[in-house]
Structure 1
Amino acid sequence: MLFKREVLEGIASGRIDRVFRVWAQPRVRAGSTQRTWAGIIVIDSVTPVTPEEITEQDAQRSGFQDRAALLTALSKSTKEGGYHRVMLHLGASDPRSELAGNADLTNQELADLKTTLDTIDTRSRRTPWTREVLRLIEEHPGLRAQDLAEHLNRDKLPFKADVRRLKALGLTQSLETGYRLSPRGQTLMTYLRSTPD
């Protein structure tokens, strides 16, 4: 499921504990989880509902001003299917977020990260790419993935897959649009600039 930033902020604060979706078949199930920048979202239940079963409390606990506003938003969906109430809560924080926020790295940790990047580049079927992508994100924070990929004459989806590999190392963070270097990534880039290959 996709979540708008304001919805994730509401889930993180506890203000939002449900969302509504138009689905022919549920896309998530109770007990499943989803990683987001706000943390790991846990799905508590998924229930088909009629418009009459949607309450004022549903609207307010899903981030809408009132029931009418929620029903209007749902009616504008271009998807076919019925309405579903998805109850959820914020579980554990995403370990990648904690990793990304740690900029206090020892020289050994930085050297190990450098070795990891070297290994990724060596095993790549293309030319080495890790530092090039990190530099590009550093120079263009918030730029769309499509535009970043075009800078490198690459397709968007493979480019995004590469950024996910860097994110798994805690080096980048996803924004509502585009990416930025994490504090950990910024520390590494400073180290790489001061360390000869």
Structure 2
Amino acid sequence: MAAWHGDRVLLDARTLRGLADGTVTHTYRRWSVVRVRPGSTMRTRVGVVEVTALDLIALEDVDDPDAGGAGFRSGAAARSWIEKRGEGELYRVGLRLAGPDPRVALREDGDLDAAAVDKIRARLARMDRAAPEPWTRAYLELVAARPAVVARTLAEGLGMERDPFKIRVRRLKELGLTESLDVGYRLSPRGRAYLAATEADRAT
């Protein structure tokens, strides 16, 4: 499942598959306070998804054709799914796949010159200074040593709770240094190149 972390909007695997193959044009959400607006974007594992419309609807508006556009086999199946999704007014959220996630191209770029290495090093140093103690290199080395290991296990090895650990790994992902797997993480080509180029930093 991919998340729009800023607004806690979740797009499930069915929705993401449909966006990727063009069969899904919207999803449904119940909100007491609307959390998105047309033009908002989110990064998911299938690419950047844009909100194209936001319509207040009634549950009975979710008929078979409308449900089909959200990836459901029938209106009844969609209504059953909606009824399990909390309280608040019901919205049809229009969606489209707007393009590839720019982090994908970034993480695949392992051809780092000295300037690129210095830029990454400076970003990581700022992240370290903002924390009680430096953590970025230890996390990169942990992911390198233990790819595809569930996040909870990695976090426990550092004496951390899972969620704070995942937030930190997500920050490394924003720099193109790690990538998420179905289970756990691995270093990206960019992350591997950075570690190799800064091996001497371990002694400092």
**TM-score interval, normalised by the smaller of the two chains:** 0.7 to 0.9
2:204 pairs with 1:188: no
* Cross-structure match for 2:26: 18
The answer to whether the 8 Å contact 2:68/2:74 transfers is yes
C-alpha deviation, 1:85, in angstroms? 0.8
Counterpart of 1:98 (choices 102, 105, 118) is: 105
- CA distance in 2: counterparts of 1:141 and 1:64, whole angstroms: 35
- CA distance in 2: counterparts of 1:141 and 1:62, whole angstroms: 34
1:152–1:45 distance in 2 versus 1, CA, 3 Å: same
C-alpha deviation, 1:88, in angstroms? 1.1
Q: What is the identity percentage for the equivalent residue pairs of Structure 1 and Structure 2?
A: 36
* Cross-structure match for 2:91: 84
The answer to whether the 8 Å contact 1:96/1:168 transfers is yes
- Superposed CA RMSD in Å reads 2.7
Moved more, 170-179 or 13-22: 170-179
* Cross-structure match for 1:154: 160
2:62 pairs with 1:68: no
- CA distance in 2: counterparts of 1:34 and 1:170, whole angstroms: 17
2:40 pairs with 1:47: no
Structure 2 length normalisation: TM-score?
0.79
The answer to whether the 8 Å contact 1:121/1:127 transfers is no
The answer to whether the 8 Å contact 2:117/2:194 transfers is no
1:138–1:10 distance in 2 versus 1, CA, 3 Å: farther
Q: Provide Cα deviations, 1:119-156, integer angstroms capped at 9, x if missing partner.
A: 24762443332121012222333444343222111244
The answer to whether the 8 Å contact 1:39/1:91 transfers is yes
Amino acid across the alignment from 1:19: T
The answer to whether the 8 Å contact 1:110/1:191 transfers is no
- Structure 2 unaligned residues grouped into runs of 5+: 1-8
1:48–1:178 distance in 2 versus 1, CA, 3 Å: farther
The secondary structure found in structure 1 opposite 2:39 is coil
The secondary structure found in structure 2 opposite 1:22 is strand
The secondary structure found in structure 1 opposite 2:92 is strand
C-alpha deviation, 1:5, in angstroms? 3.0
Counterpart of 1:59 (choices 61, 64, 67) is: 67
1:150–1:166 distance in 2 versus 1, CA, 3 Å: same
1:131–1:51 distance in 2 versus 1, CA, 3 Å: same
Amino acid across the alignment from 1:128: P
Counterpart of 2:44 (choices 17, 36, 48) is: 36
C-alpha deviation, 1:109, in angstroms? 5.2
Q: Provide Cα deviations, 1:7-32, integer angstroms capped at 9, x if missing partner.
A: 22321332211001222332212222
Counterpart of 1:171 (choices 173, 177, 181) is: 177
1:126–1:26 distance in 2 versus 1, CA, 3 Å: closer
C-alpha deviation, 1:193, in angstroms? 4.8
1:5–1:183 distance in 2 versus 1, CA, 3 Å: farther
C-alpha deviation, 1:34, in angstroms? 1.8
The answer to whether the 8 Å contact 2:30/2:91 transfers is yes
Moved more, 90-99 or 153-162: 153-162
C-alpha deviation, 1:194, in angstroms? 8.1
C-alpha deviation, 1:171, in angstroms? 0.4
- Structure 1 unaligned residues grouped into runs of 5+: none
